[in-house]
Amino acid sequence: MKKALVLSDSHGSLENVHLIMEKFQDIHTVFHLGDLVEDANEIKKNYSNVVVEFVRGNNDYKNVPYEKEVLFCGKKVLLTHGHRQRVNTGFLSLNLWAKEKNADIVLFGHTHKPFLDKGAGIVLFNPGSISLPRGSNMPNFGKLEINDRGNICAEIFAIDSLKNINKIFQNTY
């Protein structure tokens, strides 16, 4: 079984990331979905025991790809920030792109709002924002687990004002 943290839209604030990394020490991979690339590089530097995969967001100006394909425990995972697929207006473009790439899972951010669904046979997973949430005052992040049978478990967590981490949603596919 492999476990990954799914983070997006940290925007230079890594306090919550450090809190999460302390709590989830059995993590193999961190997926950072943009805004800001510098934060992903900082995670890489501070947590050399995990693989950090990341993409560029609409507020990133480094020469980093906007999209990336990753094989994670036998599943094809697409990483994108989501602004190029216009996720603020819906998921049609995201779904079409994922179908074209034969993806199992699409991880995206940009909206700062958590979202989890298996539309059109593809898991769409937005962890929300770890630093600047919208629609809530609690920062969000995700965890993705794939077991030896290929089952996908996706979870969304919130961090309250007392720095408690609470699971707010989970689904298994």
Residues with Cβ within 8 Å of 102's Cβ and at least 6 positions away in sequence, in order, are 76
What are the tokens at 83? 């602004």
DSSP string computed for 113-131: SEEEEEETTEEEEEE--SS
Over range 23-38, report the average pLDDT. Answer: 96
State which H helix or E strand residue 168 sits in. strand 165-172
Per-residue pLDDT tens over the stretch 36-79: 999 999 999 999 999 999 999 999 998 999 999 999 999 999 99
Average pLDDT value for the chain: 96
Indicate the pairing of strand 2-7 with strand 51-54: unpaired
What pLDDT shows up at residue 129? Answer: 97
Question: What does the buried/exposed string (b/e) look like for 93-104 if buried means 16 or more CB atoms within 10 Å of the residue's CB?
Answer: ebbebbeeeebb
> What is the pLDDT, as a whole number, of residue 54?
98
In this prediction the pTM is 0.96
Evaluate if residue 20 carries a pLDDT over 90: yes
Range of the domain at 141: 2-172
The whole-number pLDDT of residue 119 equals: 75
- pLDDT digit string, tens, across residues 125-165: 999 999 999 988 999 999 999 999 999 999 999 999 999 99
The number of folded domains in the chain is 1
For residue 40, the surrounding DSSP H or E stretch is helix 37-46
Under 8 Å between Cβ of 116 and 127: no
Q: Cβ neighbours of residue 42 under 8 Å, at least 6 residues apart?
A: 14
pLDDT confidence of residue 120: 80
Please give the average per-residue pLDDT across 85-108, as a whole number.
96
- Which CATH number characterizes residue 137's domain? 3.60.21.10
